[in-house]
Amino acid sequence: MIAPRKKNEKSTSYKFIDLFAGIGGFHLAFHRLGAKCVFASEKEKYARWAYETNHKKISPGLFASPGLFNDDILKAKPADVPDHDILCAGFPCQPFSQAGHKRGFTESHEDRGNMFFIISRIIQAKRPKAFFLENVRHLENHDGGRTFSLIKKTLQEDLGYRIAYKIVRASDYGLPQHRPRIFIVGFRREDNYPMNFVFPEPKPLRFTMDEVWGGKCGKRVGFTLRVGGRSSSIKDRRNWDSYLVDGKVRQLGPEQGLKMMGFPQSFKLPASKTASMKLLGNSVAVDAVHAVAESMISHLNSYGKCSSLRINIRKGEFELVC
């Protein structure tokens, strides 16, 4: 698992909010980097139970005041969301109406319940220094590419953020699971910081599926955990939760799922195996989020520490010297 902060490691003191929070993969990753969660929102009852059960000890203030652990983001007024430095959200992928595509951030009435625009309105009201959004890899091509085009336009042109995005796999950052997801990070343009954000270099696997199972599996990297379609035959092309271990077919359970997603084995999940696997399938890969979050915080920490700007007029390029 990701090592907790050392006692002498300086806290970042950054505040973050956790939207569409699930069981708190973003929370765990940013907390380990010294950031403080000041607002979270999750509607699903089992996810809310797991979130509070596992994060109440490390973020007691989040659950001490009414409204900070929100159960319906549609009922929260953007201006009432606490001030924060970083907005985190693993938001649902939804189509936009044609009117919304034409109007951009001034979305149509049909789009007002779209979860991306909920995020956009909070960004507009609170102007966080940065955001970290996560979605399925197919977001880029969703609705013929129109969805992602509008997302980029809204974030860059309407809200004024510099963004970077990349398809990231859990296996890129140590976890034995493919799980390709698009990560979108953004930084406030008014901070006048022209340096481009760079995603961290991939890291080797911390362990393989042999360690996940505690036996000979024969696969270094496992299938992506999903929400539905469990219990397919191991020979079925749709299979994702059955493995041949020490010559016997075994089905993934919460114990293996926690390891593959980067959660500690002490993490508590509902008693129902079905509910637990659904929560894990909807979560984020903690190690992947942690690696990118660490780079984001380093990027933020360099604000105001840059000494000069080199300009190459012939090439039209600039380089910030920090």
Q: At what angle do helices 45-55 and 273-281 cross, to 10 degrees?
A: 80
Q: Which of 93, 217, 306, 322 is catalytic?
A: 93
Task: Report how far residue 231's alpha carbon sits from residue 264's, in angstroms, rounded to the nearest whole number.
Answer: 25
Cβ atoms 29, 2 nearer than 8 A: yes
| β-pair partners for 283 | none
Closest CA to 51 of 283, 315, 230: 283
Cβ atoms 213, 255 nearer than 8 A: no
Residue 322 catalytic? no
What does the DSSP assignment read for 92-150? PP----HHHHHHTTS--GGGTT-HHHHHHHHHHHH--SEEEEEEEGGGGGGGGGHHHHH
Cβ atoms 205, 171 nearer than 8 A: yes
Give the 3-state secondary structure of residue 15: strand
191 secondary structure, DSSP code: G
Task: Report how far residue 208's alpha carbon sits from residue 176's, in angstroms, rounded to the nearest whole number.
Answer: 5
Q: Please, which residues have CB within 8 angstroms of residue 6's CB and are 6 or more apart in sequence?
A: none
Residues counted in the chain: 322
Catalytic residues: 93
